[in-house]
Amino acid sequence: MINPSMLSTLGIVIFAIVGAIALYFFFMGAVELFSKVTLGQSTSRNDQLGTRLWGVINHAVGQPKILRQAEGGIMHFLHFWGIAIFALAIVHLMLERLFGAVLFRSPVWYLIADIAGLFALVGILYSGFRRYVQKVPRLDTGSWKEEQPIVLLILMIALMVVFYFLSYGCKIVATASIPGEPERYTLAFISSWVASWFVGLNPVTARFWEFTFWWIQMIFAFGLLVSFRYSPVIHPAVAPLNIFMRHLGPKGANIESINFEDEERETFGVNKIADFTWKDLMDPYACAECGRCQDNCPAYLTEKPLSPKKILAEIKEQIEETVAPKVAVSTAGGHISFAVTKRAEAAEEGEGNKEGKVKKLIGERISPDEIWACTTCRACQEECPVFNEHIVKVVGLRRALVLDESDFPGEAQLAFTNMERNSNPWGIGWQTRGDWATDLGVKVLSEDSNVEYLYYVGCAGSFDERVKKVSVSLVKILQAAGVSFGILGVEEKCCGDSARRLGNEYLFQSLVQENIENMLNYKVKKIITACPHCFNTLKNEYPQFGGTFEVIHHTQLMARLIQEGKIKAGSGGENLKITYHDSCYLGRYNDEYAAPRQVLRAISGLQIVEMKRNLNKGFCCGAGGGRMWLEEHGKRINTARTEQALAVNPEAIAVNCPFCLTMFEDGLKDKEVSETIKTYDVAELLARTI
């Protein structure tokens, strides 16, 4: 007996032809995307396969980054799961049509399918409402021409859901007299409700409309496959791959080093699309342009020209304009091969080609002002649900300006010169580096290297008059706890953090090699530092050059000493209402939020109040990424962060970073409250209790 739910032979043939055409376009779109992405330089992302796979399950399926966003997070989660389960329902119905196979007969399945379809439809409608009615700023709704692909995609999915319900409604009417069939749909409340619209139809007519609606639904489903080749909205397909290929090493070790001994290398930065890595070129296609990155970018929020989302969008446009591949399939010799021609394969970006002039990546596509505005605070990457990597792209563009073009701000040149001549950005004589420790009884490794820890003081702790007080406070704490430590003194060089992030990789590596040589010479194994930038660089980046040490931030060591009872924190002599600022390089780069708070809570008399933006959503002070040494135009980032601190009415502000200390003190002066509200490093607050 022929299953009335199955397609006829002619129907199966038509389905196979249409399906094959749709799959062809989908496959060719995948090949073209692969050809674009692989224009980039090689980078290894094939290790720890189990961890990568779990990341896809956790972040693509569980979506924790999206759910922690109060605005639209749950909507997106329901939208995603609705479409995912609904897609399974479509496959189930497709198998029934083609082969008569009914995988699920339980009424619960049809209830789940109906709920999934409802979630998908409501999610689509709500997302359209937020984009086109509410016009949520971070979504940056464009012109009608720019929005057409998004609208088309939304309509195809929505209509696919609508016609699914229409098809099932007619199916329920058509099979009402077949034994066992009505029981399958008892819980399918939406399909049953739709079926009530068609109750008057006879089974033959109902069956006709059932198949008509099903075919319309399939046309939209196949249209989605075709759209992968032509629509710019391919994020849902690429995002899981991007999550799988995410950086798995330490967050602070994501910048790749340059081999300056490679004689075949012609450029050292990113001047054109082919200079990016293939992962860099995948990111723009995985990007959903949700705007979470720019909503947390301190540069964007203080009206600088930078938007992390826009950077990716500009790179994507550059890819399409420069290389837009055309794939030809050849079956010569019985083998399938692909010939990829690129529109501007022989032309450098910025030069003419037969289809017109291609914009320069730097200058015409991405402005220098955008490139230099970034503080490398990592807020963009922390919020991105698909693990796009914005900062490495910015650093690559800065390398091009510094190493290839010698085109960078004059203040950066001064900082570079000072680091080259005196191993510190201030330009103070290198021979005075250890003067702050005179008469403190601090060992210098050149005189006695038999110590447990090297205290790497850093440039600020050695030369900045205000930050020297932090160095003295930390020495007091270490000595009180009986910690064995020493300093390098005049042999210490700048860690190189600012040089690398400003794009001067050559200077960075020179400083690194000198520091590592000195450290290995004294058999250093453990390092303490009070600067998160030094901490991140020594811990996560020095291993790239053979300098592997156990590095600990001073707040981590202080928390440990308190826990072990080697330091007994008393009272600072006064009751203080303080707010604590999470530095970017200790927090988002190294996930250390607890230790500083543990130290502060151990000090009696301190009342800690948190700012609205705290922990992994903390707001940058504005000094990271080498911005400490550059002029800032418009509203200052440190002023914005100071305003956030003042909003909780503190009597003092606690920090864990010398850059943050400087930026807050400047911010308090700017707000004219520096006489009544003070900024302290955590070490200063603890040292007062000893």
pLDDT for the residue numbered 345: 45
Query: Whole-angstrom Cα distance, residue 89 to residue 85?
Result: 6
pLDDT for the residue numbered 247: 93
pLDDT for the residue numbered 95: 81
- Residue 267: strand pairing partners: none
Task: List the one residue out of 173, 151, 688 whose CA is nearest residue 473.
Answer: 688
Q: Which two tokens stand for residue 548?
A: 């592997």
263-404 fold: Fumarate Reductase Iron-sulfur Protein; Chain B, domain 2 (1.10.1060)
Report which residue type is found at 109: W
Query: Whole-angstrom Cα distance, residue 590 to residue 421?
Result: 31
pLDDT for the residue numbered 101: 66
Q: What is the DSSP letter of 413?
A: H
Query: Whole-angstrom Cα distance, residue 214 to residue 596?
Result: 61
Q: What share of the chain is helix, strand, coil (3-state, %, to 5)?
A: 55, 10, 35
pLDDT for the residue numbered 347: 43
Q: For 424-560, which CATH class?
A: alpha beta
pLDDT for the residue numbered 341: 53
The percentage of residues in the chain with a pLDDT greater than 90, rounded to a whole number, is 61
How many CB atoms are closer than 10 A to CB 55? 18
How many CB atoms are closer than 10 A to CB 685? 21
pLDDT for the residue numbered 331: 55
Q: Which two tokens stand for residue 356?
A: 């017109």
pLDDT for the residue numbered 460: 96
Q: Which regions of the chain are under pLDDT 50? A: 1-2, 343-347, 352-354
Report which residue type is found at 169: G
Map out the domains of the chain as residue ranges: 9-28+53-233, 263-404, 424-560, 566-687
Q: Do domains 9-28+53-233 and 424-560 have the same CATH topology?
A: no
The tokens 């129907």 sit on which residue?
Answer: 11
Q: What is the DSSP letter of 454?
A: E
pLDDT for the residue numbered 90: 84
- Residue 679: strand pairing partners: 653
Q: Which two tokens stand for residue 609?
A: 């109040």
Q: What is the DSSP letter of 308?
A: H
Which tens digit of pLDDT belongs to each residue from 328-370?
A: 555 555 555 555 555 444 345 555 444 557 789 999 999 999 9
* CA atoms within a 13 Å half-sphere pointing along the CA-CB vector of 232: 17
CB burial of 342-379 (b: ≥16 within 10 Å; e: otherwise) equals: bbbeebebbeebeeeebbbbbeebbebebbbbbbbbbb
CB burial of 640-676 (b: ≥16 within 10 Å; e: otherwise) equals: bbbebbbeeebbbbbbbbbbbbbbbbbbbeeeeeeee
Geometric angle at alpha carbon 228, from 396 and 83, rounded to 5°:
105
DSSP H or E stretch at residue 356: strand 356-357
CATH number, domain 566-687: 3.40.50
Q: For 9-28+53-233, which CATH class?
A: mainly alpha
